Amino acid sequence: MNQNQTADLLKRSMPFQTVPGEMLEAIAKLARYESYARGDVIYHQGDFADDVFIVSSGAVQHTLGIGFQATHPEKIVRSGGVFGWAAVLDNQRTRMAKTVCMERTELIRINGEELINFFKATPETGDIVMSRFATMINKEYTMPEEVAGHVPHFTQVPVTVATGLSLTMFRLSQWLKSPKPYLMMTGFGILLATWYLAVEVWKLPRFADMPGLTTVMKEWFSKDPVYGLSIWTPEYYQHIWVSVRRILIAFFLATVLGVPLGLFLGWSKTFREYVFPVFETLRPIPILAWVPLAIIMFQGSETPVIFLTFLASFYATALNTMLGVETIDESYSRAAACLGASKWQVFREVIVPGAMPFMFTGLQISIGVAWFSLVAGEMVAGEYGLGYVINTSYTMVRYPTIVIGMITLGIVGYVSSALVRMAGDYMMQWRVRELALGGR
Amino acid sequence: MISKRLTKSLFSRSNLRAVIAIFVFLVLWEVGSRSKDWFGFPMPWVGHVPPPTAVLVAWYGLLGDPGYWQSWYMSTLRVLAGFLAAMVIGIPLGLFMAVNKTFHGIVFPSFEVLRPIPPLAWVPASIIFWPTQELSIAFVTFLGAFFTIVINVLGGAKSIDPRFFQSAQSMGSSQWDVFRRVVLPATLPSIVVGSAVGMGITWEVVVAAEMISGGGGTTGSGGGLGFFIWNSYVGGSYEQIVVGMISIGIAGFVCSELLRKLGGYLTPWLRKR
Amino acid sequence: MSAVMQDLKVPPQAGKAGGALKGAIRIEDVVKIYDPEGAAVMAVDHCSLDIPAGEICMIVGPSGCGKTTLLNAIAGFHSITSGKIYLDNELLCGPPEKPMAQPGADRIVVFQNGALFPWKSNIDNVAFGPMMQGKLSKKEIYEKARSIMADAGLSGTEHNFPGEVSSGLRRRVEIVRALMNEPKVLLFDEPYRALDSLTKSVMHEALLEIYYKNKVTIFFITHDLEEAIFLGHRLVIMTSRPCKPKKIIDVDIPHPRDYSVLTSTRYRQLMDETVELVHEEAKKAFSAGEKEG
């Protein structure tokens, strides 16, 4: 591994991320390259902490000893990861963890003493690096802030653990360095270019009738749209609002009725045996086959559309909630009973939160099928609304407006399911945090 | 012996309850529908629905009608066409996205952007694009199943335990072997689930597409159960609407069950549990 | 064989020898017959056992032998077919009048895979029992929870969710959650089964430490002989299904113990005495299991 590669590796690691290039090269000169076989122990807990390690390739299992109050003592360190940070702490020169290579591992090691001496010459950079060390020790190794606070500081200002913002910025910069955003742009580019070229430049057969990319965009953003609908016309927002309002009513009703029904279906066997068969008999009938019957049952044009949307959401919510209750491990209810909870308390404290993950999966599906049925309902029976826009634009030969309607539907639909997901994450912090740790 | 009787009664109890529940449901429906004749005022909502007995009579009358069976045939054909196309294109696409990171990076974001657009919103665009009505209905049906199948295949292939790959490689498998003997079978359960869900959506979409395109007034469409329902509505024979709904329910149910059976046959290692 | 039978005749103890100690369990001739799909399966076969208050009683037997059925009967999760179970001379269950015990905070189970509620923070889990019983104010409960967690070395993890801490820590929180209710008996259902042996050894010492402070009766199910000898006052070795005591062995290694016990000669002797018995039952269970499967 040459100097440049070492500098590149340092640049990828969290503590050295912000260090300027020429200084990285100077630090790279301190580094030594080493490679280990699978199963090799790099150091044991209690060893003298001399060097800091940065993984180039492979994987290292890092197990913190008991008594250091790490909430999650186990961690796998992979390429770009830094361990052995005890070597830079000012009160701690013994290893706090045991590290074992899980596969063939290449890494570089830098003497902690030499690193600290190096930073004494450039205290400002040193403080930034050390505060990033502190954040890493606290956030990634789940060590208490007191331990992380023991990194040395070179200027007069004491070092503090970085807040959420700098961590987010770090993740953002990592993302921008990965190929993902560029591939994504390539994908969008190909999609839009195909549309543009096929319709407007090459005028391929069949495609020539379709509204082209520029036509649609011009229409969508025009202050004086040819076919009467653009982001500057109030009707556009009126249609969106009508659709959103229907979704809101239907989704609200479906949740308010479907969640309790699902909870009781899962909780009480007797209730399920009586109610579920009827439910199962009606379920195979596609929601959209209800359209004419809905029109007959609920006169007018507004209620049938809302009913259809509601019905689709309701099935998804109730079924998934029921499934959620069924998957709760019995030992949770038993543990609660042991601890003196009454039947009702078990329901409130165990069944409801335990079914929550599935319930929110259900709500995610529910909002999706709600849009699905709403569009169908509006196309067949509605007045106003995005589905109606698409259908009338077809019959009145306003082709670009069809595409505007479709894009708008996509956006509004996406935003609504993102909102449901956010609500779920907000209500299930325990799960978010669990998954975040599991994902490492 | 006592125990045997006990389990027997336990089993029949849940079945008995199911029968009671459905019977009560039908009676309530009948009473609700006939409320106008019997009590002098129609019950809200149910009062406008034809009663189950009338539906049965209408259904009996339709059993000898070749037009009714033609509708079954047309809808099934469209569902199969759209569904098979979705499988043929969706499964390789999902697998390829799971295997190749670059391809995933390029295609997946665009895929996610198109996915929230409900399939039925494509109906008009599809009619404009495809030369025949038949093809446009099949295309929308295809879209309905396509997204679900791809997402399921992708999710299934991505969640394969990496130890499977390692153990296959340690036993000397080539890349192609790993794909054929590890990735494919490990993804099969997700393919089955995705297809079953996709099949359900396909029936949803086909009904609506038939209603919108066929029922929208254009003549010469090929019929189908959705069209049958819409036609019954326009013609005012409300009993036939319910017959149509039940028929689609049965058709969809049978298709999904067949798929599940086939899936169970293809994934024998999941059977025991 | 007759020598083994001799061992079973445990003299009926009052269970009140220590006076202040509570939590003596008496199991009298308990039978449990399961009935899946009409085929009766005997899980527990005329089992009698006396556990004096404050004892650590280790129930050792092959997996799936019916030990858990016995535990579930004491905890009140399952009914028994015949026999009686007493806690401090009070009838817990005894058909026909009372086939099933009422679950209660005097007998708390620590489950095999852990049953800390993942949706509650550690301290909310610890406070759960008293909160449900509603005897103390919320403030008092949380003060007590904080101090009892600090005693067990769990400071700093109060506001983490169980999913965020290591599995060893989770088990400790679960035991603390049980102790919060001042139970008479702790029922352990192979709680350390999923842990690696290093973590396990730490957990064993921690458990003994907690026991020396609290002196509750411990009914501990395991299939790990090493664990059983290290922790227990007595080992009850169970036969494979249907389960009943095969031999009861006093572990005459004085408490308090630490891990140096593992290298002592007495420990080796006990290990030698018991390993054959356990292995025999494990083999029976294995061949029976193969026939079933």
CATH code for position B140: 1.10.3720.10
* Minimum CA–CA partner of B1 in chain C: C38
| Domains (range + CATH), chain C | 2-99+217-292 (3.40.50.300)
pLDDT greater than 90 at residue A318:
yes
Domain boundary among A114, A149, A175: A175
What pLDDT is recorded for position B9? 58
- Express each pLDDT in C116-140 by its tens digit: 999 999 999 999 999 998 888 999 9
Residues A146 and A34 reside in one and the same domain: yes
Average pLDDT over residues A217-232: 88
Identify the domain containing residue B129 by its residue range. Answer: 50-270
Residues B130 and B225 reside in one and the same domain: yes
- Within 8 A of C35 by CB-CB distance, chain B residues are 3, 6-7
Residues A268 and A169 reside in one and the same domain: no
pLDDT greater than 70 at residue A67:
no
What pLDDT is recorded for position C289? 65
Residues A237 and A115 reside in one and the same domain: no
- Express each pLDDT in A158-168 by its tens digit: 445 555 666 67
| C35 CB within 8 Å of a chain B CB | yes
How far is C277 from chain A, CA to nearest CA, in Å?
31
Confidence band (pLDDT; 50, 70, 90) for A439? very low
SS in 3 state form for chain B? CHHHHHHHHHHHHHHHHHHHHHHHHHHHHHHHHCHHHHHCCCCCCHHHCCCHHHHHHHHHHHCCCHHHHHHHHHHHHHHHHHHHHHHHHHHHHHHHHHHCHHHHHHHHHHHHHHCCCCHHHHHHHHHHHCCCHHHHHHHHHHHHHHHHHHHHHHHHHHCCCHHHHHHHHHCCCCHHHHHHHHHHHHHHHHHHHHHHHHHHHHHHHHHHHHHHHHCCCCCCCCCCHHHHHHHHHHHCCHHHHHHHHHHHHHHHHHHHHHHHHHHHHHCHHHCCC
Cross-chain residue pair C119–A340, CB shorter than 8 Å: no
Q: Give the lowest-confidence range in A27-36, A270-279, B88-97, C27-36.
A: C27-36
pLDDT greater than 90 at residue A301:
no
Confidence band (pLDDT; 50, 70, 90) for A346? very high
Residues A251 and A309 reside in one and the same domain: yes
How far is A436 from chain C, CA to nearest CA, in Å?
9
Nearest to B113 among A274, A293, A410 (CB): A410
What pLDDT is recorded for position B220? 45
How far is A419 from chain B, CA to nearest CA, in Å?
14
Nearest to C181 among A69, A339, A349 (CB): A339
- Within 8 A of B165 by CB-CB distance, chain A residues are none
| A278 CB within 8 Å of a chain B CB | yes
Residues B123 and B241 reside in one and the same domain: yes
- Within 8 A of B75 by CB-CB distance, chain A residues are none
Residues B200 and B164 reside in one and the same domain: yes
Residues A160 and A247 reside in one and the same domain: no
What is chain A's alpha carbon radius of gyration, rounded to the nearest angstrom? 30
Residues B183 and B70 reside in one and the same domain: yes
Cross-chain residue pair B129–A207, CB shorter than 8 Å: yes
Cross-chain residue pair C132–A339, CB shorter than 8 Å: yes
Residues B82 and B160 reside in one and the same domain: yes
Instruction: Please report all neighbours of B, defined by 3+ CB atom pairs within 8 A.
Output: A, C
Residues A237 and A325 reside in one and the same domain: yes
Residues A127 and A183 reside in one and the same domain: no
What pLDDT is recorded for position B219? 44
| C37 CB within 8 Å of a chain B CB | yes
Residue to substitute from B1, B3, B12, interface C, most C β-carbons within 10 A: B3
Identify the domain containing residue A163 by its residue range. Answer: 3-175
- Express each pLDDT in B159-193 by its tens digit: 887 778 878 888 888 888 888 888 888 899 889 88
> For chains B and C, what is the number of CB pairs under 8 angstroms?
11
pLDDT greater than 50 at residue C8:
no
Residues A193 and A158 reside in one and the same domain: no
Residues B41 and B79 reside in one and the same domain: no
- Express each pLDDT in C29-48 by its tens digit: 888 888 766 667 788 888 88
pLDDT greater than 90 at residue C153:
no
Cross-chain residue pair B8–C38, CB shorter than 8 Å: yes
Residues B86 and B164 reside in one and the same domain: yes
Residues B206 and B265 reside in one and the same domain: yes
CB atoms within 10 A of CB B120: 32
- Within 8 A of A349 by CB-CB distance, chain C residues are 117, 128, 132
- The ipTM of this complex is 0.84
Q: Could you give the number of structural domains in chain A?
A: 3
CATH number of the CATH domain containing A91:
2.60.120.10
Cross-chain residue pair A277–B130, CB shorter than 8 Å: no
CA atoms within 13 A on the CB side of B131: 2
Q: Taking a contact as any Cβ pair under 8 Å apart, which residues of chain A between 119 and 148 contact chain B?
A: none
- Express each pLDDT in C179-199 by its tens digit: 898 889 999 988 888 777 777
CATH number of the CATH domain containing A409:
1.10.3720.10
What pLDDT is recorded for position B131? 87
Please say whether the beta carbons of C226 and C50 come within 8 A.
no
- Within 8 A of A375 by CB-CB distance, chain B residues are 118, 120-121
- Express each pLDDT in C237-250 by its tens digit: 888 777 788 888 88
Cross-chain residue pair C113–A354, CB shorter than 8 Å: no
How far is A83 from chain C, CA to nearest CA, in Å?
19
Domain boundary among A119, A154, A175: A175
| C90 CB within 8 Å of a chain B CB | no
The percentage of residues in chain A with a pLDDT greater than 70, rounded to a whole number, is 95
Confidence band (pLDDT; 50, 70, 90) for B247? very high
Residues B66 and B37 reside in one and the same domain: no
Residues B99 and B30 reside in one and the same domain: no
For chain A, what is the mean pLDDT? 85
Residues A116 and A168 reside in one and the same domain: yes
| B8 CB within 8 Å of a chain C CB | yes
Cross-chain residue pair C128–A339, CB shorter than 8 Å: yes
What pLDDT is recorded for position A239? 94
Residue to substitute from A199, A203, A319, A379, interface B, most B β-carbons within 10 A: A379
- Express each pLDDT in A119-169 by its tens digit: 888 877 888 888 888 888 887 787 877 777 777 777 655 445 555 666 677
| C293 CB within 8 Å of a chain B CB | no
Instruction: Please report all neighbours of A, defined by 3+ CB atom pairs within 8 A.
Output: B, C
Average pLDDT over residues A39-43: 84
How far is A167 from chain C, CA to nearest CA, in Å?
19
pLDDT greater than 80 at residue A93:
no
What pLDDT is recorded for position A164? 60
d(CA B143, CA B202): 9
Residues A229 and A244 reside in one and the same domain: yes
Residues A158 and A301 reside in one and the same domain: no
How far is C76 from chain B, CA to nearest CA, in Å?
22
What pLDDT is recorded for position C218? 93
Nearest to A274 among B21, B49, B119 (CB): B21
The percentage of residues in chain A with a pLDDT greater than 90, rounded to a whole number, is 29
Residues B56 and B23 reside in one and the same domain: no
Average pLDDT over residues B61-79: 88
Residues B26 and B158 reside in one and the same domain: no
For chain C, what is the mean pLDDT? 82
Indicate the length of chain B as a whole number.
273
Cross-chain residue pair B124–A393, CB shorter than 8 Å: yes
d(CA A413, CA A364): 11
Please say whether the beta carbons of B36 and B220 come within 8 A.
no
* Minimum CA–CA partner of B11 in chain C: C37
Q: Give the lowest-confidence range in B96-100, B207-211, C71-75, C164-168.
A: C164-168
Q: Could you give the number of structural domains in chain B?
A: 2
| A427 CB within 8 Å of a chain C CB | no
pLDDT greater than 90 at residue A280:
no
> For chains A and C, what is the number of CB pairs under 8 angstroms?
101
Q: Taking a contact as any Cβ pair under 8 Å apart, which residues of chain A between 152 and 211 contact chain B?
A: 179-180, 183-184, 186-188, 190-191, 206-207, 209-210
How far is B205 from chain A, CA to nearest CA, in Å?
8
- Express each pLDDT in C246-274 by its tens digit: 888 888 888 888 878 888 888 888 888 88
What pLDDT is recorded for position C293? 33
* Minimum CA–CA partner of A354 in chain C: C119
- Within 8 A of A356 by CB-CB distance, chain C residues are 119
| A327 CB within 8 Å of a chain C CB | no
pLDDT greater than 90 at residue A5:
no
- Within 8 A of A429 by CB-CB distance, chain C residues are 161
C62 preceded by a cis bond (ω within 30 of 0): no
- Express each pLDDT in A402-434 by its tens digit: 999 999 999 999 999 999 988 988 888 888 777
Instruction: Please report all neighbours of C, defined by 3+ CB atom pairs within 8 A.
Output: A, B
Higher pLDDT residue, A252 or C212? A252
The residues pairing with C110 across neighbouring beta strands, listed in sequence order, are C188
d(CA A217, CA B81): 34
Average pLDDT over residues B10-24: 82
Cross-chain residue pair A332–C119, CB shorter than 8 Å: no
What pLDDT is recorded for position B216? 41
pTM of the model: 0.77
Confidence band (pLDDT; 50, 70, 90) for B87? very high
